[in-house]
């Protein structure tokens, strides 16, 4: 294994799929399909480049500690992680969606906020929710969930949820409405700060190819 070996951290699903064309632009072809194989380390046509498959929310952690030299993660995930030890050179413009506040149809969010009501907020994105409601001067009780946030208001666990919205189909199917957009989300390339210096020669052409391929997205 050469000292210029590169490890790229990706999550399965939309991030893997939308990163593939960027890798192709850099001349890198992943030779195995993570949806078919159970392998967590995937080879590429370049013997010095490998891809590791991790949970979306774990990508920044692998890159921060140098277990991966670089990775692709959503702004939602990076905001919750905080970005320590990461260099974030490129917004790739992939896996786009938005972070929003949603409530049950019939819940009068505007009035609750205006009257200074204390809101129960269920979310996986506790840091994002904390900062958003603090900036509005709204007091909240945070309820941490790990998935299926849409259920929380329907069964009385919370008044509102903070979640990602893309088409809005999931909200509609569950009788929820978006009442506030918190931020636009897309995925960024993240690079380990030490790797950026030590493996610059190997990384630079890949970063440039990613940048070119994601221009205008």
The pattern of x and - marking residues 87 through 126 that bind ligand PRT according to CB under 6 A reads --------x-x-----------------------------
165 near ligand PRT (CB under 6 A): yes
Exposed/middle/buried for 32, CB within 10 Å: 0-12, 13-18, 19+?
middle
Contact in structure between 199 and 6 (CB atoms under 8 Å): yes
Give the binding-site size for ligand PRT (rule: CB under 6 A): 23
**102 alpha-carbon distance from chain centroid:** 19
90, 129, 163, 191: which one binds ligand PRT (CB under 6 A): 163
Shortest Cβ 99–ligand PRT spacing (Å): 9
Contact in structure between 92 and 139 (CB atoms under 8 Å): no
Stretch of 54-62, 84-92, 111-119, 195-203 lying at the interface with ligand PRT (CB under 6 A): 54-62
83 near ligand PRT (CB under 6 A): no
Structure tokens that stand for 159 in this block: 């008044």
Contact in structure between 112 and 119 (CB atoms under 8 Å): yes
**Phi, psi (rounded to 5 degrees) for 209:** -65, -40
Stretch of 34-42, 129-137, 167-175, 188-196 lying at the interface with ligand PRT (CB under 6 A): 167-175
CA pair distance 120, 61, nearest whole angstrom: 29
Where on the chain is the footprint of ligand PRT (CB under 6 A)? 11, 13-15, 55-57, 74, 76-77, 95, 97, 147, 163-170, 185, 187
């Amino acid at each position: 294994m050469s000292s210029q070996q590169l490890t790229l951290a990706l999550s399965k699903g939309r991030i893997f799929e939308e990163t593939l064309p960027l890798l192709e632009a850099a001349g890198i072809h992943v030779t195995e399909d993570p949806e078919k194989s159970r392998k967590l380390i995937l080879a590429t046509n370049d013997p010095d480049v490998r891809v590791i498959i991790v949970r979306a929310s774990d990508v920044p952690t692998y890159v921060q500690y140098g277990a991966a030299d670089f990775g692709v993660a959503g702004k939602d995930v990076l905001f919750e992680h905080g970005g320590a030890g990461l260099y974030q050179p490129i917004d790739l413009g992939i896996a786009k969606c938005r972070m929003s506040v949603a409530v049950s149809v019939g819940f009068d969010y505007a009035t609750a906020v205006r009257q200074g009501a204390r809101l129960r907020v269920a979310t996986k994105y506790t840091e994002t929710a904390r900062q958003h409601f603090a900036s509005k001067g709204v007091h909240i009780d945070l309820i941490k969930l790990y998935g299926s946030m849409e259920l929380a208001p329907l069964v009385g666990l919370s008044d509102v949820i903070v979640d990602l919205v893309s088409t809005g189909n999931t909200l509609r199917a569950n009788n929820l409405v978006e009442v506030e957009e918190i931020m636009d989300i897309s995925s960024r390339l993240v690079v380990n700060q030490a790797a950026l210096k030590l493996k610059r020669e190997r990384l630079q052409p890949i970063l440039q190819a990613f940048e070119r391929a994601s221009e205008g997205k």
